């Protein structure tokens, strides 16, 4: 059995350590340098949970 992840469902990561700019052609996150490690820890934990929740069984081989 395979696992499938629909990338369209990932959305944006909200974090108190970041600011999002989703306008125009470029999408990016801005964080303060002193918040780098806290941001990386938080986004890794949140992303892992979100991806785990979005994984679904896929019977296609």
User: pLDDT by residue (tens digit) across 6-58?
Assistant: 555 555 555 565 555 555 555 566 778 888 889 889 878 988 888 888 888 88
The upper half-sphere exposure of residue 28, i.e. CA atoms within 13 Å in the direction of its Cβ, equals 5
| DSSP secondary structure string for all residues of 4-15 | E--GGG--PPP-
Q: Return the pLDDT at 56.
A: 84
Looking at per-residue pLDDT, the higher value among 4 and 58 belongs to 58
Q: Return the pLDDT at 9.
A: 53
Q: Are 22 and 35 in contact (CB under 8 A)?
A: no
Q: Return the pLDDT at 34.
A: 87
Say which residues have a Cβ less than 8 Å from residue 43's Cβ, sequence separation at least 6.
Answer: 13, 15, 18
Q: Return the pLDDT at 47.
A: 83
Q: Return the pLDDT at 16.
A: 62
* Per-domain boundaries in the chain: 2-58
The upper half-sphere exposure of residue 25, i.e. CA atoms within 13 Å in the direction of its Cβ, equals 0
């Amino acid at each position: 059995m395979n696992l499938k992840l629909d990338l369209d469902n990932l959305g944006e990561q909200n974090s108190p350590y970041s600011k999002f700019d989703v306008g125009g052609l470029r999408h990016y996150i801005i964080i303060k340098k002193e918040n780098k490690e806290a941001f990386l820890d938080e986004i890794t934990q949140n992303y892992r949970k979100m991806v785990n929740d979005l994984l679904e069984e896929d019977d296609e081989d």
